[in-house]
Chain A
């Protein structure tokens, strides 16, 4: 008997795949002189169409494909998240390759492939599907990282990312095989019922640790962070932005699905470990970030630090903790992407990413300086902005759990991070520019920057609806269990 497949649940991914295939065909058959503009423009149009389609899907819930594919509130929330991320990434790509003059069509196609991988990660309810979705995402990211074929840094970053990323997926797969051996299944539902009825054995502990190691690689938590600075610095800036927001969010999505869902029955065993990892991660990221001279590398270390903050929510192991992760990621999306937009626009003019070049940016372009100021201040967590309330909810979750020491470590870290973020702000506003030529920002880029700033300020001031959205995403999660 053939299982019944509910195609409406998977229609978003099917549409994306059709769009990808269509764009590949267009790339082959369109005449050379119009092709370059069309792929980018069409990508934008399709992306907005998909966002409308995603809004239309808000009430569709269910499990299909023999319980491999799930469409729940968490999947819906994160699919929208990834679509919005991609709007920014496509805008950056357009700007980035305008000044570079390389072929950019494959870049768009690979970004679409990465988006498909991200959406499948959001919807997977089986370790097999999850593994393949992660591989779709990471393999397209390897190619994107090494995309600047004649740039030494890009090749070096691609090689490093490929080696360490494959190592992480090896860990994931080995953990998955051991878990399969113990539980006799790869489906989340079967594994959860096994976890709820059996105590943890050394073998299953080993399997969970291996899987966690792979996830920690994705979110850039400390023992598995070595790739972050190099890859962030060497990769093309749109890819760095995708890694820092999309890939990290995917990692936390997996973390929520596994540790607030199927492994939640073993919660007492991993809560403290996550808390310690979180403290080490944020301290390391913030301390090393102080010494950076390259802005992409600095944001790499700051993204390690933010992984530490986000892990606080995971260690809390409560519904508030998971909701705080979702909410923080929403704020982080607009904040970090605004910063990367500024970096792209700045380097399009100057072709440099060193922090010293940002001296006197306020005199060269008011809008760039202001956007960077807002995003850095929000990353640091200063009150009326998105980053502040995100950190606040995370701290609240941790304090409720009883980890006062972790909240104190986080408070110290916020102060350290203020130091290096404000050093950049000082450079932008107080220092005198070396080269005072103004930087032009086109109208469309102003619009995108405006959306990002609007997001930062709105999430900071009207937290209510966003916090509600984050909470409903967790509440309606498939197999949610605490």
Chain B
């Protein structure tokens, strides 16, 4: 059987990749993808703990998180469409009309 630590390591790894993606990506779509990775990492860790603790709450939470993630990405893509229409760019680093 695969030990608990391996799952946690994987979820931590996915979470770190997500954060690095959010911080370094210039494409807004890529940033949204990385945000989804964050939530996926959380889901993995919930399911792992649920399995190893013998408690079903964790698996239940995952369903709620999937819902929230869907809502978030729907709003995100809607704003991306607005951004493309009115600023005609998808680069995150061009969002700098406001500074200081």
Count: A-B pairs, CB below 8 Å: 115
* Main SS class of interface, A: helix
Q: Are A177 and B49 in contact (CB under 8 A)?
A: yes
Task: Evaluate whether A167 and B38 lie within 8 angstroms (CB atoms) in the complex, with A159-B79, A178-B45, A234-B98 already known.
Answer: yes
Interface string of A216-248 (1 = CB under 8 A from B): 000000000000011001100000000000000
Closest B residue to A229 by beta carbon equals B98
User: Would you call A291 an interface residue if the criterion is a C-beta within 8 Å of the partner chain's C-beta atoms?
Assistant: yes
Interface string of A164-185 (1 = CB under 8 A from B): 0011011001101110110011
Q: Are A181 and B49 in contact (CB under 8 A)?
A: yes
User: Would you call A128 an interface residue if the criterion is a C-beta within 8 Å of the partner chain's C-beta atoms?
Assistant: yes
CB distance from B34 to the nearest CB of A (A): 9
How distant is the Cα of A167 from the Cα of B22 in the complex, in angstroms?
8
- From the candidates A135, A149, A177, A181, name the one contacting B82 in the complex (CB within 8 A): A149
- From the candidates A142, A176, A178, A184, name the one contacting B75 in the complex (CB within 8 A): A142
Task: Evaluate whether A132 and B39 lie within 8 angstroms (CB atoms) in the complex, with A149-B82, A162-B75, A167-B22 already known.
Answer: no
Q: Are B61 and A166 in contact (CB under 8 A)?
A: no
CB distance from B32 to the nearest CB of A (A): 8
CB distance from B18 to the nearest CB of A (A): 7
Stretch with Cβ within 8 A of B (4 or more), from A76-84, A115-123, A150-158, A271-279: A150-158
User: Would you call B13 an interface residue if the criterion is a C-beta within 8 Å of the partner chain's C-beta atoms?
Assistant: no
- From the candidates A131, A166, A291, name the one contacting B100 in the complex (CB within 8 A): A291
* Main SS class of interface, B: helix
User: Would you call A63 an interface residue if the criterion is a C-beta within 8 Å of the partner chain's C-beta atoms?
Assistant: no
- From the candidates A146, A180, A181, name the one contacting B79 in the complex (CB within 8 A): A146
Task: Evaluate whether A174 and B79 lie within 8 angstroms (CB atoms) in the complex, with A167-B22, A186-B57, A291-B100 already known.
Answer: no
Which residues from chain A contact B15 at a C-beta distance below 8 Å?
Answer: 170, 174
Interface string of B83-98 (1 = CB under 8 A from A): 1001100001001011
User: Would you call A163 an interface residue if the criterion is a C-beta within 8 Å of the partner chain's C-beta atoms?
Assistant: yes
CB distance from A371 to the nearest CB of B (A): 27
CB distance from B10 to the nearest CB of A (A): 13
User: Would you call A306 an interface residue if the criterion is a C-beta within 8 Å of the partner chain's C-beta atoms?
Assistant: no
Which residues from chain B contact A229 at a C-beta distance below 8 Å?
Answer: 98, 100
- From the candidates B18, B87, B98, name the one contacting A170 in the complex (CB within 8 A): B18
Closest B residue to A135 by beta carbon equals B68
How distant is the Cα of A131 from the Cα of B22 in the complex, in angstroms?
21
Which residues from chain B contact A143 at a C-beta distance below 8 Å?
Answer: 75
Closest A residue to B55 by beta carbon equals A184
Closest A residue to B99 by beta carbon equals A230
Which residues from chain B contact A158 at a C-beta distance below 8 Å?
Answer: 79, 82
The size of the chain A interface, using a CB distance under 8 A, is 41
Which residues from chain B contact A257 at a C-beta distance below 8 Å?
Answer: none
Q: Are B45 and A159 in contact (CB under 8 A)?
A: no
> Which residues 19-41 of B sit at the A interface, judged by CB distance below 8 A?
19, 22, 28, 31, 35, 38-39, 41
Task: Evaluate whether A155 and B72 lie within 8 angstroms (CB atoms) in the complex, with A150-B86, A184-B53 already known.
Answer: no
Which residues from chain A contact B42 at a C-beta distance below 8 Å?
Answer: 170, 173-174, 176-177
CB distance from B91 to the nearest CB of A (A): 11
Which residues from chain A contact B55 at a C-beta distance below 8 Å?
Answer: 184-185
Closest B residue to A233 by beta carbon equals B98
Q: Are A162 and B79 in contact (CB under 8 A)?
A: yes
Q: Are A170 and B38 in contact (CB under 8 A)?
A: yes
User: Would you call A160 an interface residue if the criterion is a C-beta within 8 Å of the partner chain's C-beta atoms?
Assistant: yes
- From the candidates A139, A152, A173, A186, name the one contacting B71 in the complex (CB within 8 A): A139
User: Would you call B65 an interface residue if the criterion is a C-beta within 8 Å of the partner chain's C-beta atoms?
Assistant: yes
- From the candidates B35, B92, B100, name the one contacting A167 in the complex (CB within 8 A): B35
Q: Are B72 and A139 in contact (CB under 8 A)?
A: yes
Which residues from chain B contact A181 at a C-beta distance below 8 Å?
Answer: 8, 45, 48-49, 52-53
Which residues from chain B contact A142 at a C-beta distance below 8 Å?
Answer: 75, 79
Which interface residue of A166, A184, A234, A291 has the most chain B CB atoms within 10 A? Answer: A166
With A178-B45, A180-B58, A185-B57 already in contact, 20 other A-B pairs whose C-beta atoms are closer than 8 Å = A131-B68, A135-B68, A149-B82, A155-B82, A159-B79, A162-B75, A162-B76, A163-B28, A163-B31, A163-B35, A170-B38, A173-B38, A174-B15, A180-B57, A181-B8, A181-B52, A185-B55, A229-B100, A233-B98, A291-B100
For this complex, 5 residue pairs linking A to B, each with C-beta atoms less than 8 Å apart, are A128-B61, A156-B83, A163-B28, A166-B72, A173-B38
Q: Which 4 pairs across A and B sit closest by C-beta, in order of nearness? A: A170-B38, A181-B49, A177-B45, A173-B42
Residues of A within 8 A of B (CB): 128, 131-132, 135, 139, 142-143, 146, 149-150, 152-153, 155-160, 162-163, 166-167, 169-170, 173-174, 176-178, 180-181, 184-186, 229-230, 233-234, 288, 291, 297
